[in-house]
Every structure is written in C-alpha cells, then in structure tokens.
Amino acid sequence: MTNNVQIFSSLSRTQKEAVGLLSIGTFLEFFDLMLYVHLAVLLNELFFPKTDPYTAALLTAFAFCSTFMLRPLGALIFGWIGDNIGRKPTVIITTTMMAISCVIMANLPTYAQIGVTAAWGITICRIFQGLSSMGEIICAEIYLTELIKPPIRYPMVCLMQGAASVGGMAALAIATTTFVFKIDWRVAFWIGAIVALVGTVARTVLRETPDFADAKRRIKKKYEKSNIDQKALKDDIIFNEKVRVKTSLAYFLIQCGFPLCFYFKYIYCGEILKKTFNYSAQQVIQHNLMVSLTGILAVIVLMFLSYKIHPIRIFKVILAVFSFFILFVPFLLSNISSPFQLFLIQAFLSFFAINGIPANAIFFVHFPIFKRFTYVSFLFASARSLMHIVVSFGLVYFIDKFGNNGLLVIFIPITAGSIFGTLHFEKLEKAAGNYHLNLYPNPLTSPS
C-alpha cells in the first residue's frame, strides 16, 4: 500500500490537478448520462405510450439506443475540435452540453400532457447527452495518455473509467432515493444539471496537454524559422501520417464488446428480475446499485495491476475468462433460482467484461497524435453506436426466437473480434519493444 501511495504522489502538481479535474468532470458527466438509463423503468412509462410487452421492449431499446445513434457525428465534431483547437476546449464544451440537456429534461412535459412530442423531446435530449459523453470520456483518457508517462499512465487512464463507474453508481443511488422517498424525478435531473455546471467551471483551469501543445509548437517554429507559409503545414508529413487500417479495425472490434456487456448486465438482467422474480422498478434499481459497486471494485483492481503488469497481458486474461464464461451463460440463466444467483453472474461480468480496461492507453498511442482524437473518438463512437443498436434490438429478436441461447448469436462474434484486436495491439507493442511482464522492476524508478 505504501508503494501505491508513493507512486501516486510521484505525479507532478500539474498532473495531479489534471487527474483530479478530469476525474470529477467524468464522474459528473456519467452521472448525468446514466441518470435516465437507471430511471428508465419509470421514465419510459411517462414519456412513451403504453403498449404490449413486445412493443414495450422495443420502445425501451429505442430509448436506450437514442443516446448512441448520433455519436459518430459527435465524434467527428469533437474530434476536429480536439485535433485542431485542443483537448481542453473539448472537455469544457461537452460538460456544458450535458448541463443544458439536464435542464431541458427536468422541465419537459410528459406523454400524458403533450402526447408524442414528449417522446421526441426526451429522445432528442438523450441524443445530445450521448454526443457530449462521447467527447468527454475519450478526451479525458487521451488527455492523461499524453500528459503522463508509463507505467503510471495506465492506472491514471483507468481512473477515468473508475470515475465514470462511480458516476453511474451515484445516478443509481439518486434513482433509488427517488423511489424510496417518493421524490419528484425532476429533482434528480436538476441535481444533474447543477453538477454538470460545476464540472464546466472547474475544467476552465486545465492546461493543454504537453504532447499536443509541444507538437504544434515545434511545427510552427519550424516553418517560421524557414520563412515558409504556415498553410504548408497541411502538407507536412507529421500532419499527414497515415493511420493503419488494421489498427483502426482492431480498436473498433475491441470497443464493440462494452455495449453487449453493459446491456446484458443492467438491461437484460433487469428484465429477468422483473419477469422471473416479480421485482418492482424500485427493487431492480436497488439490485443494480449493488451490481455497480462490483464494477467499481473491478476498476480499482485493474488500476493497480496495470502498473505492475503490461495492460495487454491483463486484457488477454480477461478475454480468455470471458470466452469460457459466455459458453455457460445460457445454461446459468436457465437454472437460476434466486436474485442472488443472478447477482453473482452480473458481478462476475463486472470483473471480466470486454471494455478495453486497462489497455486503452496502449491503444491510443498507436494512432498519430494529430489524428488521434478524431480517429479514436470516431471509431469508439461508431462501435458503441452500432453495437448498442444491434444488441438492444438483436437480443429482443434472438431471445424471442431461441431463448437464452440467443445470447450466443451476439456474444461469440463480438468475443472473436476482440481477440483479433487484442492480438494486433500485442504485436504492435512487441514491435515497439514495450511488451514486458513487469513494466519496470520498480515503478518508482520509471522514466518521467
């Protein structure tokens, strides 16, 4: 424990400040984003018309997917801002967007008041929340990747996922409080708006990342010294460094895993609790709150492992266990006899989910710095958007046709794609001479 404290204290003041501000901002951003997801069992009834169970499942899937449908567009917008203007403006803009969306949702009339306009209104707000969260998490992770050197880079980037998980858990806690104490759900969104505004103000003190700022400064000086028009920068080899197609595909395939794991863990298992064990909306939220705690614990464990063991090695173990686990999921789900048994399945998945943790920082550095934000965010958004739609609607269809065995129709190809992607990045790390079991004999003596 003493060594762990020393490693964190080895960060410079600027690095500590960035880690703190980005962690708080990511927490606030995902608190706002997940608030609707965990209140959906209540809000979908308020903002969408009542229908038969199958249609209701499709409407629930639509409400869930609406957050992710336009994320690729947001990735292009925020990617351009991040790669051309800077990382700092991006995180400020995204937090502001989230705050505005929460204010609108807190005041939006329900379906009973204005009919289908309410459904469109809530969907549009969810789309804007999805756009802002897209720029948020990727920018925060890239920011720290460019600010901090290995091996401490890896746990610090993992920390952003931890902050996102804590934000989701806080949203669950607020949702639980709303049900238990019968508080107006609008109060929860007002809380979300306030915390997002706080995050926006806090982030104004961030500095631009040194890697990005120094790269631009060096290029600018080079052309000023040579008395060359800066418009020629567009033709410079540094700006036009090509992104490998195979690297892009590998990253895309790895990012396809998270939507499946998240949807299964919270949405699909939530439906099992309601249909099999007659759980109320309140009980489902309380159950998911406990599940979210296991997710936070998993991130903490992976954080501390990642500066001792190369992140790709850790991720390979996760993939191996996940591959074995999914083969038994249909059998396990068909034979559970209590909510606690379902909880154990969800908790297991928290530790062995395909979500890129703790190797995201490894993936980022294999993209050119002046194209990094655009490519990474677009691939991330495209994978998440596509798979949230495929998983949400696909599971409704496959489960209806094949029962729990329908899960394998999506689980198996996504797992195979993640394995391919991981082996590719392992090859790149070996070629770069970075692939070691122990990153450094003593993390405290790592280069700064």
* Pairwise CA distance, residues 35 & 42, whole Å: 11
Residue 443: per-residue pLDDT: 42
Per the structure block, which two tokens stand in for 124?
A: 């549009």
C-beta neighbour count of 109 within 10 angstroms = 13
Cα pseudo-dihedral 26, 162, 282, 36, rounded to 10: 30
The closest of 284, 325, 314 to 408, measured between CA atoms, is 325
Residue 182: per-residue pLDDT: 76
The closest of 58, 118, 55, 93 to 204, measured between CA atoms, is 93
The closest of 154, 428, 422 to 310, measured between CA atoms, is 154
- Number of residues assigned to the chain: 448
Residues 6+ apart with CB under 8 A from 279: 273, 287, 339
pTM for the whole structure: 0.77
Tally DSSP H helices, then E strands, for the chain.
Answer: 20, 0
Residue 205: per-residue pLDDT: 63
Residue 133: per-residue pLDDT: 65
Long-range contacts of 316-321 (CB under 8 A, 24+ apart): 316/422, 316/426, 318/351, 318/352, 318/353, 318/354, 319/354, 319/415, 319/418, 319/419, 319/422, 321/352
* Pairwise CA distance, residues 163 & 425, whole Å: 25
Residue 142: per-residue pLDDT: 86
SS3 content of the chain, % helix, strand, coil (to 5): 80, 0, 20
Question: Burial of 80 by CB count in 10 Å (0-12 exposed, 13-18 middle, 19+ buried)?
Answer: middle
Residue pair 390/410 in contact (Cβ under 8 Å)? The answer is: yes
Residue pair 111/47 in contact (Cβ under 8 Å)? The answer is: yes
Query: Cα separations (Å) of 274 from 41, 42, 175, 278, 388?
Result: 10, 13, 17, 5, 22
Residue pair 361/154 in contact (Cβ under 8 Å)? The answer is: yes
* Pairwise CA distance, residues 396 & 406, whole Å: 9
pLDDT along the chain (448 residues), means of 10: 56 78 76 71 70 62 63 74 70 76 82 81 77 70 86 90 85 77 78 73 62 53 51 54 89 92 88 89 83 91 90 95 93 92 94 91 89 85 83 81 88 95 94 67 41
The closest of 102, 105, 100 to 46, measured between CA atoms, is 105
Q: What CATH number does domain 11-208+241-445 carry, 1.20.1250.20, 1.10.3720.10, 3.30.70.3040, 1.10.3230.20?
A: 1.20.1250.20
Determine the angle formed by the axes of helices 116-147 and 87-107, rounding to 10 degrees: 160
C-beta neighbour count of 87 within 10 angstroms = 27
Query: Cα separations (Å) of 71 from 140, 199, 306, 352, 379?
Result: 17, 21, 29, 26, 10
